[in-house]
Amino acid sequence: MSSPVRVLQYGVGPIGLACIRTILAKQETGQLVLAGAVDISPEKVGRDVAELLGGGLSPTGILVSDDAAAVLAETTPDVVLHTTTSFLDRVHGQIEECIRCGVPVVSSTEELSFSYDRHPGLSAALHKEAVKHGVAVVGTGVNPGYAMDTLALMATGVCTDVSEVHAVRVVDAGKRRKPLQLKVGAGLSAKAFEEKKATGVFGHIGLRESLFFVAKGLGWPLDRVDEQLHPVLADAEISTPFLTVASGNVAGIHHSITGYVGGNPLLSLDLKMFAGAKEPRDAVHVVGDPPVDLVVRGGIFGDTATVAVLVNAIPLVLHASPGLKTMMDLPVPRAFACSPNSG
Amino acid sequence: MSSPVRVLQYGVGPIGLACIRTILAKQETGQLVLAGAVDISPEKVGRDVAELLGGGLSPTGILVSDDAAAVLAETTPDVVLHTTTSFLDRVHGQIEECIRCGVPVVSSTEELSFSYDRHPGLSAALHKEAVKHGVAVVGTGVNPGYAMDTLALMATGVCTDVSEVHAVRVVDAGKRRKPLQLKVGAGLSAKAFEEKKATGVFGHIGLRESLFFVAKGLGWPLDRVDEQLHPVLADAEISTPFLTVASGNVAGIHHSITGYVGGNPLLSLDLKMFAGAKEPRDAVHVVGDPPVDLVVRGGIFGDTATVAVLVNAIPLVLHASPGLKTMMDLPVPRAFACSPNSG
């Protein structure tokens, strides 16, 4: 057996901590090992990741550092799992630093999942740098990264002809972690929702990236994109383990995007995330020959799946040719380092 | 736009002809073009593929030849679409001939979809030859190649932990083409079914390959495999457009395989193909964290999908590194050369 993949966790917020928990759990397979942890938060720096995870875990000896350059140099990781923020213009410097150290990167940065539309210049620069240093970089996660893009594209793989692709994701936000409930505005008044929406950084990040991903995968040029974000209002009081939504207030979001090809709305992604959503699911409907009606019943549970898609991308990015990749460039995602008898 | 991919169709039986029909239909996209056609059948040699397709198509100028070496040399295709038989020991010479001409191959040979278990020697030889000549080779189709293996593996991509994977495919053979109905034994007496079964080459070909594919993708060594093939008997007379099944006779097959890991039946593939099957579907059930309950409602229509998966693999194999590949080595399958406005 080859030696374990040494992973540097860059960003130890909720997703980063969940990644660390998963990596530590998988260490017994001998296929990967946590090599270091980076975060700029003063209340995390210098603390053992086990302490941050809580639950009485034994110390790992791996302390959070705010000096990425030093940790990269000292730990010489095989891969960086990067989970800081959603926006590429804020994180490209972090990613470039890893690339320049010759380390491949798997990032949860939503805008990196398909960055060529929103950030063509940054994408070209990252690609050039990655090629120069011989490493692959990918942005991924459950959404964007899997549910509404990679799975949607995969569904067309059995078609000789495709004329439309529509993806639907319905999430009962009331059953997700608190940050997700806050992210979708659960509990806000309709007025507060509109104020947040006006900031331009509210709602789900990545829908536009997923749409352009599917269009690119099919080779369809988009001539127009129509994106809509609306609140879903509670028609009765809703209680979650973390908050209460008064009747008439916001239970969550309905976020959708439509891509027009040749003047017709041929691609659409429709995302509902609100407390109390009925029939949670991920669905892909391909109008084609043959038609495809794919559904993941109950939906893909995002809190866990985000971490899974990131960790499962590690071996794929390690074996990829150098450059900025998307999930359509990498082999079919599959579970990594899952021992059937470890459960 | 780059020049169209020049495709040599090797084998013009029912699947090969369907591939040709699809290639010709896609030629208008400028992304691929039929370069030649090979078959050994005396009643096909020398005839224009348009004539074989029927339906009053204009002649293409491409005549079927039984001299593969000559056609390879004369047409210098970019890729071979190979659709002759299911069994690797019968076709490896055909595939090697293409490889030696430096031409990548997409083959419908079921045993080639994951050949390392049944044919380790032939697999190693094909891989070595493909690497030597700098081309990639893959065996694929809808099943094996997509429904019960690639899609099953893909479903685990959102899991941090996987303990079991079970795939189910239910096909109403009565709605498929005649060869499929005959292949599953529709209309046979129970006695005739058992005689056919005893030949060892009856039933669905590729279930074992799909099982080993999923096991390999998860990195799970199988310690035992249990394969079962039984007839599904009609409890009332069934009529299809092609045949009639008397009550008590065979409507089709129930073919299943189970893989044991650490003594436990953790992987299973269950395939039912019979006339009159209710609730046709493709389903993948992953016991894991999170669990995944994926279903393609109505099932993936195999007659078209087989051709689609083959044609859609063309760009993937053209860009792959040299060697014998499986679908888990290639990027996520997606529709190729589908113009949204061509329908």
Q: What is the DSSP string of B123-191?
A: HHHHHHHHHHTT-EEEE--STTTTTTTHHHHHHGGG-SEEEEEEEEEEEEGGGS-HHHHHHTTTT--HH
* A37-55: average pLDDT: 97
What is the pLDDT at residue B175? 92
Residues A276-320 pLDDT 10s: 999 999 999 999 999 999 999 999 999 899 999 999 999 999 999
Angstrom distance (rounded) from CA A205 to CA A110: 6
The band of A203, judged by pLDDT with boundaries at 50, 70 and 90, is confident
Task: Write down the CATH superfamily of domain B5-141+304-325.
Answer: NAD(P)-binding Rossmann-like Domain (3.40.50.720)
The burial of B287, by beta-carbon neighbours within 10 Å (0-12 exposed, 13-18 middle, 19 or more buried), is given as: middle
Buried b / exposed e over A23-62, threshold 16 CB at 10 Å, is bbebbebebbbbbbbbbeeeebbebbbbebbeeeeeebeb
- Residue B343 has what pLDDT? 44
Cβ-contact B35, B77 below 8 angstroms: yes
Q: Which residues contact A134 (CB under 8 A, 6 or more apart)?
A: A102, A322
Confidence at B1, pLDDT banded by 50, 70, 90:
low
B304·A160 Cβ contact <8 A = yes
Q: Which residue of A has its CA nearest to B289?
A: A304
Chain B residues lying within 8 Å of A293, measured CB to CB: 296-298
Minimal C-alpha gap between A246 and chain B (Å): 31
A110 vs A141, A236, A310, B126, B226, CA distance in Å? 8, 33, 12, 41, 44
* Angstroms from A11 CA to nearest CA on chain B: 19
Q: Kindly state the DSSP code that residue B331 receives in the 8-state scheme.
A: B
Mutate to test the interface with B, among A27, A113, A334 (most CBs of B within 10 A): A334
**Model confidence pLDDT, tens digit, residues B240-297:** 999 999 999 999 999 999 999 999 999 999 999 999 999 999 999 999 999 999 999 9
Determine the distance in angstroms separating the CA of B203 from the nearest CA of chain A, rounded to an integer: 23
Nearest CB neighbour to B308, from listed A158, A328, A333: A158
Q: Which residue has the tokens 């798997």?
A: A106
Beta-carbon separation of B294 and A297 below 8 A: yes
pTM of the shown model: 0.97
Of residues B302, B269, B262, the one with CA closest to residue B175: B302
Q: Given this model, what pLDDT does residue B111 score?
A: 97
Rounded to two decimals, the ipTM of the complex is: 0.97
Q: Quick check: B22 and A160 CB within 8 A?
A: yes
Query: Can you tell me the distance from the alpha carbon of B239 to that of A255, in angstroms, rounded to the nearest whole number?
Result: 48
Report strand pairing: A224-233 vs A161-172: unpaired
Report how far residue A306's alpha carbon sits from residue A206's, in angstroms, rounded to the nearest whole number: 13
pLDDT tens track for A166-180 = 999 999 999 998 888
Q: Which residues of chain B make contact with A158, given a CB cutoff of 8 A?
A: 142, 146-147, 300, 304-305, 308-309, 312, 333
Is A125's pLDDT higher than 50? yes
- Annotated domain spans of chain A: 5-141+304-325, 150-299
pLDDT of residue A202: 85
Please tell me the distance in Å from A190's CA to the nearest CA on chain B. Answer: 33
- Alpha-carbon gap, residue B105 to B94, rounded angstroms: 10
User: What mean pLDDT comes out for the span B107-114?
Assistant: 98
CATH architecture of A150-299: 2-Layer Sandwich (3.30)
Q: In the prediction, which pLDDT does B340 show?
A: 82
What count of Cα atoms within 13 Å lies in the side-chain half-sphere of residue A324? 22
Residue A181 has what pLDDT?
Answer: 93
Q: What is the C-alpha to C-alpha distance for residues A180 and B274, in angstroms, rounded to an integer?
A: 46
Tokens encoding B275? 């006339």
Name the band, by pLDDT with cuts 50, 70 and 90, for residue A152.
very high
Place of tokens 């320049």: A100
Average pLDDT, chain A: 96
Residue B177 in this model has a pLDDT that exceeds 70: yes
Do the Cβ atoms of B309 and A158 come within 8 Å? Answer: yes
